[in-house]
Amino acid sequence: DGGITQSPKYLFRKEGQNVTLSCEQNLNHDAMYWYRQDPGQGLRLIYYSQIVNDFQKGDIAEGYSVSREKKESFPLTVTSAQKNPTAFYLCASSIERQSNEQFFGPGTRLTVL
């Protein structure tokens, strides 16, 4: 079954700790994205990658880092520099371009205590 997986579904961390969210896809998509969703707000783009070993900042990249060593994987690290990390994090992928249909993983709900 083709799709995008994210783990874990729920994550709790203490303030000041870095945490890495996993995202894997077996759709053979070139492009992958990370968004965060906060109540009452639209999805906001954190980082995206259109090809292995290359990625670009989105609108709210501060306090986050990513890597794209494999086509299938695009992990996101939420660092202690992120001022308000508690949110719902969604990973997505698409064929080639951002403006193509994007497929989403089930999301990770991060709570920083």
State whether residue 23 is helix, strand or coil: strand
Interface residue with another protein among 5, 17, 26, 100 (CB under 8 A) is 100
Q: How far apart are the first and last CA of the chain?
A: 36
Nearest CA-CA partner of 61 in 51, 49, 52: 49
Q: Give residues 67-96 in contact with another protein (rule: CB under 8 A).
A: 88, 90
Nearest CA-CA partner of 83 in 28, 24, 16, 25: 16
Q: In this structure, are strands 108-112 and 10-13 parallel, antiparallel, or unpaired?
A: parallel
Q: Which segment (21-29, 40-48, 67-75, 78-86) binds another protein by CB under 8 A?
A: 40-48
Q: Which segment (14-22, 39-47, 60-68, 73-81) binds another protein by CB under 8 A?
A: 39-47
Interface residue with another protein among 42, 54, 84, 113 (CB under 8 A) is 42
Footprint of another protein (CB under 8 A): 35, 40-43, 45, 58, 88, 90, 97-107, 109
